[in-house]
Structure 1
Amino acid sequence: MWWEIKKAAYMIRHIVLTKFNADTTEEKIAAIYAELAALVEKLSGAHGFTGGRSSSPEQIERGYKHGFVIDFDSWADLKTYAEHPEHKALGAQLVQCAIGGIDGILVLDLEH
């Protein structure tokens, strides 16, 4: 049945967009993203890390020029990631590098 197919494909897409301070280098951002990608590889139920700088031809990022996406199999898997000490440390680095701290970060979690 169609609902079984949908249920089998169900996941949470975690989207994080950041406005970085002008003095935050692309190398620093890439290093944070590489550590996040490595963390995702360690966790079951987390996969598909993709991150980087926007290359949108629309150019309506409104300052959110960098972002990343991670897919989770369940809300419990997202919770495990959110509570992981490495995530907390990397999240603190993102906040420190973002314009206005936490105000320079957007997080969306989409069910699909």
Structure 2
Amino acid sequence: MMKHIVFLQFKSDTPKTQIEHAFALLDGLRQPIPQIKSFKFGKYDSKEGMNHGFDYGFEMEFDNAEDRDIYLYHPTHLEVANQIIPLLEKGTDSLIAFDYDPSKGL
């Protein structure tokens, strides 16, 4: 299994409706990219304050790295990314993508 976790920092003046639309677009990727096994998202929700300005995140699961790579370079994913990146505080500097395979351990 491959997990793809992304943290996002939207511009402070981004309307909630645009953020909701961004996640709807991401969720909609499951139809053209069946390699996406699951999609979950949410807003940062902790009093710990260790999010360093990243206020939203999402997680996708894939069977393996090859399926994840299909998603990464799929034209529909690239189109969606090009719609979301302008909403971020500093473009791609306002996102963190972290992929890992839990079965591999260290």
> Normalized against structure 2, the TM-score is what?
0.87
Q: Which of the residues 6, 20, 34 maps onto 1:44? A: 34
Aligned-pair distance for 1:59?
A: 2.3
- 2:23–2:41: 8 Å Cα contact kept in structure 1? yes
Name the structure 2 match of 1:75: 65
- 1:21–1:97: 8 Å Cα contact kept in structure 2? yes
Name the structure 2 match of 1:105: 95
In the alignment, the residues of structure 2 paired with residue 95 and residue 65 of structure 1 have an alpha-carbon distance, to the nearest angstrom, of: 15
Q: In structure 2, what residue type is equivalent to 1:111?
A: D
In the alignment, the residues of structure 1 paired with residue 28 and residue 90 of structure 2 have an alpha-carbon distance, to the nearest angstrom, of: 27
In the alignment, the residues of structure 2 paired with residue 73 and residue 41 of structure 1 have an alpha-carbon distance, to the nearest angstrom, of: 16
In the alignment, the residues of structure 2 paired with residue 108 and residue 72 of structure 1 have an alpha-carbon distance, to the nearest angstrom, of: 13
Which structure is higher in helix share? 1
Report the count of equivalent residues. Answer: 102
Deviation by residue 1:1-27 (Cα, 9 ceiling, x = unmatched) = xxxxxxxxxx11000101111121221
* Higher Rg: 1
- Matched-pair identity in %: 28
Counting only pairs closer than 5 Å after superposition, residues 26-65 of structure 1 correspond to structure 2 as 26-65=16-55
Q: In structure 1, what residue type is equivalent to 2:13?
A: D
Aligned-pair distance for 1:41?
A: 4.0
> Normalized against structure 1, the TM-score is what?
0.83
User: Unaligned stretches of 5+ in structure 2?
Assistant: none
Q: Secondary structure at the match of 2:52?
A: coil
CA RMSD across the alignment:
1.3
Q: In structure 1, what residue type is equivalent to 2:101?
A: E
- 1:17–1:68: 8 Å Cα contact kept in structure 2? yes
- 1:45–1:74: 8 Å Cα contact kept in structure 2? no
Deviation by residue 1:10-48 (Cα, 9 ceiling, x = unmatched) = x11000101111121221111111121121244333122
